[in-house]
Structure formats: structure tokens, C-alpha cells
Amino acid sequence: MPGTMGTASYVMAPTAGNDAFWSSAHGADRVWSRHQALRRVRGEQLCDEPESHGIAVRPISRRALAKEAPDAYKDVDDVAAAATLTRLVPLGVVAG
């Protein structure tokens, strides 16, 4: 399950009889639309925080980066808590 530019991603373990594992997870799901994210977050703000933690951020534009703001998504840690095998942390971000 992919995280966001500011959160971990997860390798999940299937559970018997759970048909959800026949498809690929696309992440934790959004709580803000991309339009809402553009109104609430500036892309410039999003570069500084990950880079202060050693995560490379190389967006095609600041606008593209703002659309994918970590706050625009549900907490991936909560969503993945049920069946996690491995937690992966981000090393870089490509937006666009």
C-alpha cells in the first residue's frame, strides 16, 4: 500500500478469504480532493519538510506537489495496521 511523500508505504500480507487482495491497493484514500489540496497547501511548503529529513523532492511543478500533500490523505499507518509485513520509508519524491 503506497504512502505519501511524507509517510511510509507498506507491503501487506493477505488474509484467507479476503477478496480485496485480488487487486492492488492505491493508497490510504484521500480526505481532500486535489482541488481542496491546492487551496489549502502551497507546494513550496512541501519541499522543505521532507528535505529536512533527507528525502529528495523533485516535482515537475510546485502545483503538482501541492495536489499530493500528505494531509490530503488518510493516515496510512491506521489503514495498514491490519496486515502489514514490511514498512518502507520514502527516500525520494517524484511529482508530476
Active site residues: 26
Q: Which distant-in-sequence residues (6+ apart) come within 8 Å of 16 by Cβ?
A: none
The residues pairing with 30 across neighbouring beta strands, listed in sequence order, are 73
Helix, coil or strand: residue 17: coil
Tell me the H-state helices in the chain.
Answer: 34-40, 43-52, 62-67, 76-80
Cα 16 from chain centroid? 27
